[in-house]
């Protein structure tokens, strides 16, 4: 009997110690995470200029944003453009790199490190670097493309200074960090049982057949993961535009998060900015719920289907 | 080992606590002051010296200064004001004083001045700046610094083109004639440009003011749809019409990425820039001859005016300050605005200070600085538009850009910009 009590006691004590160790994190979650989220929900129903006290105006912010704000739709459109192109392209390039680097040539770990390295660079530094590369007049990229321009007798591309190309330029630049997803693909690729390839070899399957019928299906979990993460991340695109283009030229890279930021910083409209944040949350939630339906096409190895 | 670790921890903790400790004498009333000279900045030690001199001058109050970098300062002060934890005295921007005065976070300085008439030399401050610090007939802030815009001209380039200082333009048509004589083109590439209205720190609203026009009327409704507005924008677009816009942008931007201004980089003969460019050129040790003058004005009835702004110095009312603290902040404010301190601050930070008498002494023997100071009297700050605080920046930039690149005609760009301001205004009013 005495023994049981002491075990219960010990369990309790253990729990307590567990909470104690988790307390800094719990504190952060509640005070720095949960509280601001709740406050922003409250602010979204107010007119709050960050100096005077918030004044409750109920759904006015939402009404204005959805029915009488041209920039809201423009910035949402820009963001959707970014999502629709950047997410699939990022997956494609990440997969492509993973295929390339999933071989047993000499020094492969060096190559893998090299492709992963851009992810270690801060986004700000990366963006500044690419600004130099893409600079239309003396940037390295246009210098390299010069023979092509001359061949086709065309004007050099304006990249981020050309409003028709600016969004694509930012997407292209973002591909530089595809190494991040590549690592995940690589890990999964190397998880695929070698026996599957061996039996395919015995059946005389070609490299291409093996890729289509073994590698790709077994990689769907990581593709799916990167797809969902990419989706959520792309909706929040901000930093690259803030540094490289300032939302321009002519608002062509004025993304949703950028408009949200301006509402707060330039218009002193914290209430409106909070409402934008909640609208974005709803949009991302809806898109993610739809994206999760693709789960039925994902093949999990070792699971009964 | 455990014991060693706990001793080490204790040691670190006490060190940290010691670090938090400042040397406020316990028998004095502490006044907090926020400025923009953080530890490590060039002006830090001089700012600290100025504060220390005040602390040594009397034994009732003790000012504790905290410096933030210019880039961080605005967020910090905004958050502190809204959370009612603002310092007793601090710096802010002068054009939006009314928004803070209306919110009741600033002390009414007119009352303090009335009770202590010799405290501040109000007549030494610029009227235009004081009007921006006034809300409902009372002063809620004092101008602390001033900025102005002038036309910089490169005398060596003038000489090379057979011109002299007498040819420095005063009107828009003279500006055009002289600028064209200073253009140097090789093949299709620009080697040197006389002037471009879009370069430097020139703004559309600055030119509008010179032509007697404005962005907004007295009720803050956007105007912008008159022929006069279109003409001014068209003049800017057409000034260098023999070059393409991308040529002009490329030429102007080439140095900017390196952090060099096209005028300081000796690529442009004349340029409108802020007063601090003079400081920059001086510090860079440039060896070319240059001068400054008023920005040329429209030929018929042009108005001598330039866009200038400045920091304000304000006393924050957190709704819980004791009368002692308020009195202490006032004492320190008087010290900051005194002629000697203003002079000291100008020499320390390279800023134009609001005190005219102090600045005259600073500029003594410096012809360019004296000329710049003359223009401060003609500086006008942008109006604060509550529904579009960034009306001259973000809200305007894309339309301006569309007009310059020819994506829209001047008339179309202005009409679209106006529609945007009107929509913002309607939305702002709906949330009031």
Last residue of a domain, one of B278, B306, B334: B306
**Contact between chains at A64 and B253 (C-beta distance less than 8 A):** no
Helices (H), B194-312: 204-210, 227-238, 245-256, 276-283
CB contact set of A88 (below 8 Å; sequence gap of 6+)? none
Residue B42 CB partners (closer than 8 Å, separation 6+): none
Q: For residue B388, is it within any domain?
A: no
Q: In what order do the strands lie in the sheet with B270-274?
A: B270-274, B149-154, B290-293
State the best of A252, A258, A268 to mutate against chain B, taking most chain B CBs within 10 Å. A268
Does the beta carbon of A162 lie under 8 angstroms from any beta carbon of chain B?
Answer: no
Put simply, the answer to whether A137 touches B254 (Cβ < 8 Å) is yes
Tell me the per-residue pLDDT of A127-175, one tens digit each, with 9 for 90 and over. 999 998 998 888 899 999 999 999 998 888 889 988 899 999 999 999 9
Maximum Cα interatomic distance, chain B, rounded to a whole number of Å: 87
Q: Angle at the Cα of A87 (from A81 to A90), degrees rounded to 5?
A: 125
- Whether B341 and B144 have beta carbons less than 8 Å apart is answered as no
Tell me how crowded residue A156 is: count the other CB atoms within 10 A of its CB: 18
* Bridge partner list, B186: B189
Q: Which two tokens stand for residue A299?
A: 């093949």
Half-sphere exposure of B407 (CA within 13 A, CB side): 16
**Do B169 and B113 sit in the same domain of this protein?**
no
Distances in Å between the Cα of B400 and the Cα atoms of A129, A192, B390, B396 are 28, 57, 14, 6
pLDDT for B2: 63
Clarify whether residues B70 and B122 are in a common domain.
yes
Cβ neighbours of residue A133 closer than 8 Å, sequence gap 6 or more: A139, A140, A141
CA angle A37, A42, A43 (to 5 degrees): 95
Please report whether residue B55 resides in a domain.
yes
Q: Does B247 touch chain A (CB under 8 A)?
A: no
Mean pLDDT throughout A61-75?
Answer: 95
pLDDT digits (tens, 9 = 90+) for A243-268: 999 887 889 999 999 999 999 988 88
Check whether residue B143 and residue B29 sit in a common domain: yes
Q: What's the rounded Cα separation, in Å, for the pair B238 and B242?
A: 8
Residue B275 CB contacts under 8 Å (≥ 6 apart), including other chains: B147, B148, B149, B150, B352, B372, B376
| Any domain includes B2 | no
b/e sequence A1-10, b meaning 16+ C-beta within 10 Å: eeeeeeeeee
How many whole angstroms separate alpha carbon A114 and alpha carbon A101? 11
B116 touches chain A (CB under 8 A): no
Distance (Å, rounded) from C-alpha A280 to C-alpha A62? 12
pTM, full prediction: 0.86
B134 and B166 assigned to the same domain: no
Asked if residue B74 and residue B169 are part of one domain, the reply reads no
Contact residues on chain B for A62, CB-CB shorter than 8 A: none
Q: How far is B253 from chain A (nearest CA, A)?
A: 9
Q: Do A248 and B398 touch (CB under 8 A)?
A: yes
Facing B81 at nearest CB: one of A47, A51, A68:
A51
* Residue appearing with tokens 């393409």: B244
Q: Is B258 part of any domain?
A: yes
Q: Does B423 touch chain A (CB under 8 A)?
A: yes
Structural domain ending residue among the three candidates B306, B334, B362? B306
Is the domain of B155 the same as that of B275?
A: yes
Q: Is B253 part of a structural domain of the chain?
A: yes
pLDDT for A106:
87
Q: Reduced to 3 states, what is the DSSP secondary structure of residue A81?
A: helix
Distance of CA B46 to the CA centre of its chain: 21
Q: Give B377-425 pLDDT, tens digit per residue.
A: 999 999 999 899 999 988 999 999 999 999 999 999 999 999 999 999 9
Render A248-295 in DSSP notation, one character per residue. -STTTT--HHHHHHHHHHTT--HHHHHHHHHHHHHHHHHHHHHHHGGG
Q: Are B185 and B191 within 8 A, CB to CB?
A: yes
Chain B, 14 to 43: residues with Cβ < 8 Å from chain A are: none
| % of chain A with per-residue pLDDT over 90 | 69
Report chain B (432 residues): mean pLDDT per 10 consecutive residues: 65 57 72 92 90 93 94 89 92 90 93 92 92 93 95 96 95 97 89 94 96 95 95 97 87 73 91 93 88 96 94 92 90 96 90 94 94 93 91 92 94 97 95 88
Would you say residue B413 lies in a domain?
no
For residue B294, what are its two tokens? 């008023």
Residue for token pair 């998060």: A257
Q: Are B388 and B423 in contact (CB under 8 A)?
A: no
Question: What CATH number is associated with residue B258?
Answer: 3.40.190.10
Domain count within chain B: 2
- Give B132→chain A minimum CA distance, Å: 18
- In the listed set B359, B380, B401, which residue is the last one of a domain according to the structure? B380
A32 to chain B nearest CA, in Å? 16
Q: Which domain holds residue B276?
A: 149-196+239-306
Contact at CB, A135 and B423, closer than 8 angstroms: no
- Give helix B367-376 / helix B276-283 axis angle, nearest 10°: 160
Q: What is the pLDDT of residue A135?
A: 87
Contact A280, A260 (CB under 8 A): yes
pLDDT at B23: 59
> Are residues B54 and B86 both part of a single domain?
yes
Cα–Cα distance measured from residue B73 to residue B82, given in angstroms and rounded to the nearest whole number: 14
pLDDT value of position B252: 82
- Give the model's pLDDT for residue A305: 46
DSSP string, B314-341: EEB--S---HHHHHHHHHHHHHHHSHHH
Question: CA B129 to CA B376: how far, in whole Å?
Answer: 10
Q: Are residues B128 and B257 in the same domain?
A: no
- The mean per-residue pLDDT over the stretch A213-241 comes to 93
pLDDT at res. B341: 95
Q: Are B355 and B130 in contact (CB under 8 A)?
A: no
Query: Looking at CA atoms only, how far is residue B191 from chain A in angstroms?
Result: 15
Helix (H, G, I), strand (E, B) or coil at A105: coil
List of chain B residues whose C-beta atoms are within 8 Å of the C-beta of residue A269 = 431
Structure tokens at B407: 């994506």
- The answer to whether the Cβ–Cβ distance between B103 and A64 falls below 8 Å is no
Nearest to B103 among A51, A68, A250 (CB): A51
Q: Contact, B328 vs B31, CB < 8 A?
A: yes
Assess whether B300 and B358 both reside in one domain: no
Q: Does residue B139 fall inside a structural domain? A: yes
Summarised one tens digit per residue, pLDDT across range A10-27 is: 888 899 999 999 999 999
Closest CA to B193 of B208, B206, B182, B178: B182
Per-residue confidence (pLDDT) for residue B21, from 0 to 100: 46
- B120 and B250 share one domain: no
Pair (B277, B364) in one structural domain: no
Q: Are the C-beta atoms of A256 and A276 separated by less than 8 Å?
A: yes
Whole-number pLDDT of residue B79 = 86
More confident residue, A53 or B108: B108
Report chain A residues whose CB lies below 8 A from the CB of B104: 52
H helices then E strands: how many in chain B? 18, 16
Contact between B169 and B177 under an 8 Å Cβ cutoff? The reply is yes
B398 lies within 8 A of chain A by CB: yes
Q: By the 8 A CB rule, do B418 and B225 touch?
A: yes
Question: What Rg do the C-alpha atoms of chain B give, in angstroms?
Answer: 25
Q: Chain B residues with CB inside 8 Å of A64's CB?
A: 427, 430-431
Task: Quickly list DSSP for B32-84.
Answer: EEEES--TTSTTHHHHHHHHHHHHHH-SSEEEEEEE--HHHHHHHHHHHHHTT
B113 assigned to some structural domain: yes
Find tokens 């924008």 and name the residue. B233
Based on the domain organization, do B29 and B99 belong to the same domain?
Answer: yes
């Amino acid at each position: 009997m005495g023994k049981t009590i002491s075990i219960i006691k010990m369990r309790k004590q253990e729990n307590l110690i567990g909470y104690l160790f988790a307390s800094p994190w719990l504190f952060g979650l509640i005070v720095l995470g949960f509280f601001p989220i709740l406050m922003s929900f409250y602010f979204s129903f107010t007119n709050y200029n960050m100096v005077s006290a918030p004044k409750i105006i109920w759904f006015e912010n939402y009404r204005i944003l959805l029915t009488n704000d041209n920039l809201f739709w423009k910035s949402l459109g820009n963001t959707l453009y970014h999502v629709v192109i950047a997410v699939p392209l990022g997956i494609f390039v990440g997969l492509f790199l993973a295929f390339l680097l999933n071989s047993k040539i000499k020094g492969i770990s060096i190559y893998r490190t090299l492709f992963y390295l851009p992810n270690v660079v801060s986004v700000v530094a990366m963006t500044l670097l690419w600004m130099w590369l893409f600079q239309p007049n003396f940037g390295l990229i246009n210098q390299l493309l010069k023979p092509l321009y001359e061949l086709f007798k065309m004007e050099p591309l304006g990249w981020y200074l050309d409003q028709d190309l600016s969004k694509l330029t930012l997407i292209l630049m973002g591909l530089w960090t595809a190494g991040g997803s590549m690592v995940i693909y690589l890990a999964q690729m190397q998880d695929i049982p070698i026996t599957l390839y061996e039996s395919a070899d015995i059946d005389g399957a070609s490299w291409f057949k093996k890729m289509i019928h073994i590698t790709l299906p077994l990689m769907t979990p990581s593709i799916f993961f990167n797809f969902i993460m990419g989706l959520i991340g792309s909706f929040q695109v901000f930093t690259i535009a803030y540094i490289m283009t300032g939302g321009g030229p002519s608002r062509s890279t004025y993304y949703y998060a950028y408009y949200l930021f301006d509402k707060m910083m330039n218009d002193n409209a914290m209430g409106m900015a909070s409402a934008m944040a909640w609208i974005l949350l709803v949009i991302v939630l809806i898109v993610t719920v739809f994206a999760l339906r693709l789960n039925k096409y994902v093949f999990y190895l070792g699971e009964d289907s | 080992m455990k014991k060693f670790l706990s001793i080490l921890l204790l040691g670190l903790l006490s060190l940290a606590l010691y670090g938090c400790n400042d040397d406020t004498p316990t028998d004095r009333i502490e006044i907090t002051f926020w400025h923009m000279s953080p530890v490590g900045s060039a002006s830090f030690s001089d700012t600290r010296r100025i504060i220390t001199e005040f602390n040594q001058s009397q034994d009732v109050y003790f000012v504790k200064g905290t410096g933030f970098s210019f880039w961080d300062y605005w967020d910090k002060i905004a958050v502190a004001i809204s959370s009612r934890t603002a310092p007793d005295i601090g710096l802010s921007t002068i054009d939006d004083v009314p928004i803070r005065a209306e919110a009741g976070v600033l002390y009414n300085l007119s009352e303090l001045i009335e009770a202590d008439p010799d405290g501040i030399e109000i007549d030494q401050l610029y009227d235009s700046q004081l009007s921006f610090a006034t809300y409902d007939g009372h002063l809620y802030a004092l101008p602390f610094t001033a900025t102005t815009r002038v036309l910089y001209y490169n005398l060596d380039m003038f000489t090379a083109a057979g011109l002299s200082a007498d040819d420095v333009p005063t009107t828009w048509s003279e500006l055009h004639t002289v600028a064209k004589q200073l253009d140097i083109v090789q093949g299709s590439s620009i080697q040197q440009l006389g002037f471009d209205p879009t370069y430097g720190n020139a703004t559309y609203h600055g030119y509008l003011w010179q032509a007697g026009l404005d962005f907004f009327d007295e009720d803050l409704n956007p105007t912008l749809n008159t022929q006069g507005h279109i003409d001014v924008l068209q003049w800017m677009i057409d000034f260098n019409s023999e070059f393409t816009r991308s040529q002009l942008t490329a030429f102007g931007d080439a140095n900017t990425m390196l952090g060099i201004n096209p005028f300081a980089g000796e690529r442009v003969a004349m340029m409108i820039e802020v007063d601090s460019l003079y400081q920059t050129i001086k510090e860079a040790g440039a060896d070319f001859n240059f001068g400054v003058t008023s920005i040329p004005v429209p030929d018929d009835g042009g108005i001598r005016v330039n866009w200038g702004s400045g920091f304000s110095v304000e006393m924050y009312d957190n709704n819980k300050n004791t009368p002692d603290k308020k009195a202490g902040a006032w004492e320190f404010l008087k010290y900051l605005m005194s002629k000697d301190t203003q002079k000291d601050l100008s020499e320390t930070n390279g800023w134009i200070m609001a005190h005219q008498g102090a600045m005259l002494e600073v500029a003594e023997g410096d012809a360019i600085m004296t000329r710049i100071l003359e223009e401060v009297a003609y500086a006008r700050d942008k109006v604060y538009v509550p529904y579009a605080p960034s009306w001259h920046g973000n809200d305007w930039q894309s339309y301006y850009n569309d007009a310059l690149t020819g994506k829209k005609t001047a008339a179309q760009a202005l009409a679209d910009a106006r529609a945007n301001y009107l929509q913002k205004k309607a939305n702002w009013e709906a949330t009031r």
